[in-house]
Structure 1
Amino acid sequence: MHFGNRLRQERLRLHLSQEALAEALAISARSVRRWEQGQALPQASVRLQLSRFFGLRPEALFEDEETQGPSKPLWNVPYPRNPFFTGREEILTTLHTFLSANELVASAQVYALQGLGGVGKTQIALEYAYRYAQEYRAVFWIGAETTESIIFGLLRIAESLQVPGRDDKDQQQVITAVHHWFTIHDRWLLICDNVEDLGMLNRFLPPVRQGAILFTTRLRTLGTHAEGINLLPMEQEEGTLFLLRRAKVVQAQATGEQVRQLSTQKSLQYAAAAELVKATGGLPLALDQAGAYLEETQCGLPAYLDLFRTRCAILLQQRGEGALDHPASVSTTFTLAITATAQRHPVVWDLLRVCALLQPDAIPDELFRQGAKHLGAMLEAACGDPLDWNQVVAIACSYSLLSRQPEARALSIHRLVQVVLLDAMTEAERKEWAARVVEALDAVFPEERPMTEYAAWKKQCDRLVSHVLLCLHRAGDAEDSLALASLAYKTAQYLRERGQYGEAKPYYQRALHIREQILGPDHHETAHVLNNLAVLYWRMGMYAEAEPLLQRALLIRGKTLGIDHPDVATTLNYLALLYWKMGKYAKAEPLLQRALHIWEQTLSSDHPYIAHPLNNLAILYAEQGKFAEAETFFRRALHIFEQTLPHDHPDLAQGLHNLAELSQEQGKYEEAESLYQRVLNFRVQALGSDHPDVAETLNSLATLYAEQGKFAEAKAFYQQALSIREQQLGQQHPETAQTLHDMALFSQKQGNLDEALSLAERTLTLRSQALGYDHPKTKTTHALYTQLVQEQGGAEQDPPSPETSKMNS
């Protein structure tokens, strides 16, 4: 039978399209079409690949063509081909480019697959040997872990080559004979698997070689011995396909397209597989181990995923039956590497323990440089000397347990290495090291938002926050550490700055609880948390909850620090802002005047703190229609901000926003729009497009455009502002109600009375609940609602009352 007809027959037997076969073999569909049409024959390496794919002997598939093909190579590879091998096509292509028997160049034919244990180095080397065997005269394999394994491998090669004197008891003579064969022959491939000592291996390699040598090694430093190809874990789609094949959920020959179809046919299986790839960090050995367990137990992927989440360390110890090519489990593989690395320098253990307690990626160098004194005497000493530190990191990286990113000034560790490290620690050790890491993070995590260097503060917080959040979570409900309270407080401050109010709240509460327990309820540091928790409540629209906290903070600060202390002025300023939000203008003004007096007496005249009460007094005056006084205070505050703050500071942006609102009130539309656009650009860039402060500027711009008759622009900006406020602040927040009120006015202006009335009714309900029926803003909405009812010509009707609103909700 002609090869093309036989190929088509075998393809159809497996229900594969030409495209699916091409994808499975990593070749072009055009090649498959040409073969089946008798226009071409595959190359020798692809013939072997096709034969193995269909489970046929080459002569059975190729018939007469096979008899005319190239002769089979000498073969000395001790492992069978992995039927579940998946992906890695880019690596295999790169190897083929470098090691092709037709492209070999002297002194450029030694390459190494390097990376973490279990990342798939051996399997890639094995697949390369099988896939491209026909391109070489001979393919040899030696285990290179020890001197004994290398010698044993060379003796096996001597047996395969039938070299004279191979039975000689003098092993060196046999090795010399093998060297001689390598020297006088070309187009051979030698794979040295799991190299542990490059210098030792080099003593056994032929000095002159006309073939290709491929290493696999965990070593990161290769020097002049070889060109390295660093292997990373599998990508998400590749890992999912491999796991499903290995667990025999799909056939070993299943294509990526067939697996994607599984995502709809067996969505739970597919989702569990994808989640396992994430949980294992895409480590091939861990995925293979999971597949072996699933094959043996038939427990199903969702059940295994649940087990992995709760019993990960135990599962990593179970290799499964029949794992002859890599019999060691993930746990054993990593434990051996950790032990070997730590034996070279005892402080490596401490470094790895610290990394095990943090997020696996982007562990900042400054945690060790600046927080070293909290991490034990050995690490402190090593971190204090750059030469010692570099040596320790180099040793930790030598077996690929850690990797270093010099540009980012950070380290990374695989998440499963973390699991093995944590499992090796006793409960007491974990608690001790967790406390040390918390203290180090607290030392490095910046204090509250500075008046200057805002960008540097935010950048440093961004680098550390993921690690901080993990450590705070792992600390549970511990209450015995002021460092934990400090870290929780600073984290809350950072999250509040980012507009993540709901996420910030529990950290403020935790910091308050710990400080009350350790320092007492009347300590000035307790007042510090009370003050800022109240500010958070104010931003969340929880005015009733904020007021008693500020009153308590004011009392504590007055008693412990004195009534004229700047911290007292800070609380007075926030209490005044709260009263302004509550519509209690008469109570707000004297508090702001008192805060201004304290800061003027204790600080320089151009200190940015003084600008805060000036700015807030201006807001208060503008709210009451005192525009002349408001403008004077706004411009004085803005002048101080511009003189003392960097151009990207949020307080400067707020000052500009407030001045824009005043310009808008005065009909200076061009000036207002210019200021708003400047503030909007800054806020989007510095805070993100979904920050509540961005919504504030969008809402004001929308109102400005509405007043100018630019209805299309106004509508778009209102919708953006409402979306952000509903998502970030909630549908019941007073600021959300403000946008709804403004949209009601906008609809009225456009003549959409039904829509305006609906928005006004919704706003009135929200403001009645959040602010009370006597709040000025509630009364404003009530007046609008009444006006809209009258404009529609409807009968007079009572607007929704707070009691009615509560029942309806």
Structure 2
Amino acid sequence: MLISPFGDILKAFRKRKRLSQRALADLLGVHRNTIWSWEQGNYLPEGKSIVLELGRLLELSEAETRQLLEASLTALSPHWSVPYQRNVFFTGRGALLDQLHQHLHTDQAVALTQSYALYGLGGIGKTQIALEYAYRYALEYSAIFWIEGETVESILASLGRIAGHLQLPERGDSDRQRMVAAVQHWLTTNGTWLLIWDNVEDPELLQHFLPPARQGATLITTCRSSLGTLAHSLELSPMTLDEGAAFVLRRAHLNKEMRSDESKPHPSEWGTAQELVKVMGGLPLALDQAGAYIEEAGCGLSDYLQRYQQQRAPLLGRRGTLGRDHPHPVTTTFRLAYEQVRQQHSLAADLLCLCAFLAPEGIPEEIFLDGTAASEGTADPFVTDLYQFDQAIVALRNFSLVQRQSETQTLSLHRLVQVILQDQMSERDHTQWQQRVVHLLNAAFPPITSDSGTEIWQPCERLLPHVMTCVAALPACLQNQEFAHLLLKAADYLDQRSQYERAKSLYQQALQIQIQLFGLEHPNVASLQSKLAYLYRLLGDYEQAEPLFQSAERVLEQALGLEHPEVAYPLEGLAMVYYEQGQYKLAEPLQQRALQIREQARGLEHPEVALSLIRLGNVYFEQGKYELAEGVYQRSLQIRERAWGQEHFRLAGPLSNLGDLYRKQGQYELAESLFQRAARIEEQTLGPDHLDVAFTLVSLADLYREWGKCKEADQLYRRAFAIFEQALGSEHHIIAYPLQGLALLFREQGHYEQSEALFQRALQIREQRLGQDHPETAQTLHDLAVLHQLQGTMSEAYPRAKRALQIRLRSLGDSHPKTIASRELAAQLEEARDIMQD
């Protein structure tokens, strides 16, 4: 916070009140030249009472009076022994200073509540906050003393300075214990003082030198997260984006006109300053270094950010020429802390090195405690001794290098700690720790199987950010088979959570590693091609999916045999590609073969058999073979109920399929009960915003629309659309389903303009994503033709109906119910057109 000179503030308030210097002096009862001297800066009021009286006479608000008081602090306390000047660039931290004042103000009745410790990482700003507190509230204490608490010598030197300031008889005593006892006696017999212990490393020293009975307040700064019964601890967090941006602009002298009460500096630099704060993780020391460099070099914020990206190590290691209050740069500060940790507890140092290559927040402790995660050829104490693990955490917390969240059993650390640790490592150490992190993550990440339920999602989600950190940072030379396995497990999880684009990226990366290791003709490569092809299919990219499935089928058949269960995956995937493109005659034999392979290899009651039955049922359903479809749907439901019980999320698939079938047959009440059961199971197990929930909602909305329950249908279509759009984007072909449903609903309600707009959007999406000749494109054309028929625009209705008929003849055949419906519609429209022309 910048504090303007007392005289300038007084002059501004006086002129606002429209008082002359002499008039104010008369009101205050002082010599007429006194106000002039104050405003010139020749001297300041002698005490707080005079400043408060000025505030009353000038009718200042509480905040304005506080501002005037702060500006008068050169007068300070009667006993003032603080070796540092006030930091004119101090910014923000208002809430914390208020909290400290609430705990440490002189009206506190219970002495034990007046000892508080600010703790946090080196460079986080502990000393500067303590210094600002001393200056800001100096008038409230009878004495303020500062003790350098790092070593015995620094403590004794500080106490000697205090004894000299107090003019104690023992101030020059050669027996330093007598001098210490004299200072302690003064503190015991006097009250309303503030004692600041800065940079305390050893709590035993603090306990030894504190007075036994305290009549004042004690503020401690330390890296240790706990001082036991000596003080309450308050953790100091990094600066917020706004605080940090304001600070670095002030420190770099890029916004000199900024006032202390402004929330944001000049907007032209604000965004860049915030970006710098993000890069530095809000660490005040790092921001101070950046500001000093910008000031000294005369470059701008953008220039500094560019230099940082290219040469971060020298910049973090450069303190600047005027860093007296904190002479060590960030690099030295953290390196010294790491070296002390290494000397005290080697396991703690190893743990910190591992954390340097993970995401900085939410590091799960199970990464280090999994007994299967011992590195090959080395002992790994993390996985064998919980007590030693706790002691390692203690050593790191003593320097605030990590934070431990006991409720979530996770660790976190500052990103600059990670950066500096990595920069200080040799290339060999860098490689070793990265490989070890991959090994630990791979051991901890649970595999996703066909039997996996939602209970596996939580441990996967905890580990996922750390996997993605490895993905972004691991060099190609270290991307081995173990890393590929880790990528596959993470991709399988993302696939199950319907995060298809993220999963696709990991599958692609894993596939490239596998190809480099084994070549294109290896079964591992083929199996992975199937997984990636499934993702392409889900994303509507059939041109990519089909050749991958075909290649995987060929390789697996040659390597494993025609009846191997692995062959069923690409067979079924290829069948689904054809099914979703409306090529049901191609899809049916492939799906039947995949089912036969699984029944022979897995047994008739295996969950994989149930999946094949569902997909075969879908092919039957679209061809109008309803009895066959019902039989396989029922069988798949029974297999899954026997395997997983009545409430497993995988029951929703056959339940919804049966619901669609019964809806098609007009059995609405039966269909409704099945859809509602499916939706309830999915919402409870997958969450209300999962894609599977949205598909079920569309099916239920279709039922309500046909049933005449328009309000319920409208709500469900809109909710499904929101879920799809959030997960897949606004142009994915799946989006067309709720759009088509809403268009039909509006058409049936007579809202033709709204209906046409939705049909047109659905048609555009399907033509672009599925193709001009897809059965779903034909469905939209058919329904749009009916709308034009209702509107009486036959010139638009007939071409759309005719085109829908042509697509359905090619894809569904002459006898399919949908083909028959399009033929009848086209005939009606042609007849109506001919009548109109006559």
TM range (shorter): 0.7 to 0.9
Separation in 2 of the partners of 1:52 and 1:179?
Answer: 30
1:183 corresponds to which of 188, 209, 216:
188
* 1:127-526 → structure 2 map (5 Å cutoff): 127-250=132-255, 254-255=259-260, 258-260=262-264, 262=265, 266-370=266-370, 373=373, 375=375, 380-452=380-452, 454-478=453-477, 480-526=479-525
Most deviating of 454-463 and 687-696: 687-696
Cα displacement (A) at 1:376 = 7.2
Q: TM-score, normalised by structure 1?
A: 0.86
Change (3 A) 1:412 1:514: same
Provide the rounded CA distance (Å) in 2 between the counterparts of 1:94 and 1:731.
48
Q: CA deviation at 1:379?
A: 6.5
Secondary structure of 2:145's aligned partner: strand
Distance apart, 1:77 and its partner CA: 0.6
Q: 1:424 Cα deviation (Å)?
A: 0.6
SS of match in other structure, 2:380 = helix
Judged with a 3 Å threshold, the aligned counterparts in structure 2 of structure 1 residues 440 and 644 are, in CA distance, closer, same or farther, namely same
What code does the residue aligned with 1:143 have? E
Q: Does structure 1 residue 98 correspond to structure 2 residue 100?
A: no
Name 1:64's counterpart in structure 2. none
Query: Would you say the 8 A contact 2:115–2:230 is kept in 1?
Result: yes
* Contact 1:98–1:104 (8 Å) recurs in 2: no
| Residues 612 and 165 of structure 1, relative CA distance in 2, 3 Å threshold | closer
Q: Which amino acid aligns with 1:325?
A: D
1:728-756 CA-to-partner distances (Å, cap 9, x unmatched) read 44566443344444444344333445555
Contact 1:509–1:533 (8 Å) recurs in 2:
yes
Unpaired segments of 5 or more residues in structure 2?
Answer: 1-5, 18-50, 805-838
Alpha-carbon deviations, 1:137-160, whole Å to 9, x = none?
Answer: 221111111111111111111110
Q: What's the CA shift for 1:475?
A: 1.8
**C-alpha separation between the residues in 2 aligned to 1:373 and 1:772?**
49
Matches of 2:274 and 2:586 in 1, distance apart?
58
One-letter amino acid of the counterpart of residue 236, structure 1: L
Matched residue, 1:126: 131
Cα distance in 2 for partners of 1:6, 1:241 equals: 23
Report the CA distance shift for 1:480/1:421 in structure 2 as closer, same or farther (over 3 A).
closer
- The 1:379/1:42 distance shift into structure 2, 3 A limit, reads farther
Residues 1:322 and 1:544: Cα distance change in structure 2 (over 3 Å) = closer
1:611/1:640 contact within 8 Å kept: yes
Tell me the distance in 1 between the aligned counterparts of 2:169 and 2:127: 31
Mapping of 1:700-711 within 5 angstroms? 700-711=699-710
Deviates more, 1:614-623 or 1:231-240: 231-240
Alignment-mate amino acid for residue 588 of structure 1: A
Residues 584-625 of structure 1 deviation map (CA, whole Å, 9 limit, x = unaligned): 222333333333333333334432222112222222222222
Quote the Cα distance in structure 2 between the aligned partners of 1:769 and 1:187: 77
What is the percentage of aligned positions where both structures have the same residue? 43
Q: Is the 8 A contact 1:84 1:252 kept in 2?
A: no
- Note if contact 1:83-1:252 (Cα within 8 Å) is conserved in structure 2: no
Amino acid at match of 2:238: P
Q: Deviation per CA, 1:329-349, whole angstroms, max 9, x where unpaired?
A: 222211111111111012222
Partner amino acid for 2:68?
A: L
Is the 2:610–2:635 Cα contact (8 Å) retained in structure 1? Answer: yes
Rounded to whole Å, the distance in 1 between the matches of 2:168 and 2:395 is 41
Q: 1:100 to 1:613 in 2, by over 3 A?
A: same
Higher mean Cα deviation, 402-411 or 184-193? 184-193
Change in CA separation of 1:13 and 1:115 when aligned onto 2, cut-off 3 Å: farther
Cα 1:789–1:188 change in 2 (3 A) is closer
Counterpart pick for 1:10 among 9, 12, 15: 12
SS of structure 2 residue aligned to 1:451? coil
SS of equivalent to 2:246? helix
Which residue of 2 is the match for residue 23 of structure 1?
Answer: none
The residue matched to 1:84 in structure 2 has which SS?
coil
CA-CA distance at 1:569 after TM superposition: 2.8
* 1:689-719 deviation per Cα after TM superposition (whole angstroms, max 9, x unaligned): 5544343233323322321333344344434
Does the residue aligned with 1:148 lie in a helix, a strand or coil? Answer: helix
* Change in 2 beyond 3 A, CA 1:138/1:559: same
Greater Cα offset, 479-488 or 767-776: 767-776
In structure 2, what is the equivalent of residue 50 of structure 1? Answer: 68
AA in 1 matched with 2:263 = V
Q: 1:138 to 1:775 in 2, by over 3 A?
A: closer
Deviation at 1:94, TM superposition (A): 3.1
My pick for the range that moved more, 621-630 or 507-516, is: 621-630
Assess, with a 3 A threshold, how the Cα gap between structure 1 residues 141 and 379 changes in structure 2: closer, same or farther. Answer: farther
* Pair 758,109 (structure 1): closer, same or farther in 2 beyond 3 Å: closer
Give the stretch that moved more between structures: 74-83 or 284-293: 284-293
Residue deviations 1:403-440 (CA, integer Å, cap 9, x gap): 11122111111111111111111233222221221122
In 1: Cα distance, 2:766 partner to 2:222 partner: 67
Deviation at 1:366, TM superposition (A): 1.3
Q: Match of 1:190, SS? A: strand
Change in CA separation of 1:382 and 1:491 when aligned onto 2, cut-off 3 Å: closer
Secondary structure of the 2:171 match is coil
Gaps of 5+ in 1: 16-31, 59-70, 803-809
- 1:654 is the counterpart of 2:653: yes
CA gap of 1:484–1:555, structure 2 versus 1, over 3 A, is same
CA distance in 2, matches of 1:57, 1:199: 35
**In angstroms, what is the RMSD of aligned CA positions?**
3.4
Q: 1:252 to 1:444 in 2, by over 3 A?
A: farther
One-letter amino acid of the counterpart of residue 576, structure 2: L
Kept in 2: contact 1:334–1:420 (CA 8 A): yes
Structure 1, 352-361 or 268-277: larger mean CA deviation: 268-277
Give yes or no for contact 1:5–1:36 (8 Å, CA) kept in 2. Answer: no
Measure, in 2, the Cα distance between the counterparts of 1:496 and 1:124. 48
CA distance in 2, matches of 1:364, 1:130: 42
Greater Cα shift, 522-531 or 152-161: 522-531
- The AA in structure 1 aligned to 2:383 is C
Q: Secondary structure at the match of 1:411?
A: strand
Superposition map of 1:699-778 within 5 A: 699-722=698-721, 724-725=723-724, 728-729=727-728, 733-753=732-752, 756=755, 759-760=758-759, 763-764=762-763, 766-768=765-767, 770-778=769-777
* DSSP 3-state at the match of 1:166: helix
Aligned to 1:607: 606
Question: In 1, distance between residues paired with 2:524 and 2:712?
Answer: 48
Matched residues in 2 for 1:795 and 1:521: separation? 54
Higher deviation after alignment, 354-363 or 700-709: 700-709
Aligned partners of 2:322, 2:627: CA distance in 1, in Å? Answer: 86
Name the SS for the 1:203 alignment partner.
Answer: helix
TM, length-normalised to structure 2:
0.83
Equivalent position amino acid for 1:345 in 2: H
Deviation at 1:482, TM superposition (A): 0.5
Question: Relative to 1, partners in 2 of residues 1:297 and 1:701: Cα closer, same or farther, differing over 3 Å?
Answer: farther
Counterpart in the other structure of 1:589: 588
CA contact 1:195–1:201 (8 Å) conserved in 2: yes
For residues 771 and 353 of structure 2, what CA distance do their matches in structure 1 show?
Answer: 54
Query: How many Å apart are 1:445 and its aligned residue?
Result: 1.4
- 1:562 counterpart = 2:561: yes
Q: How many residues align?
A: 763
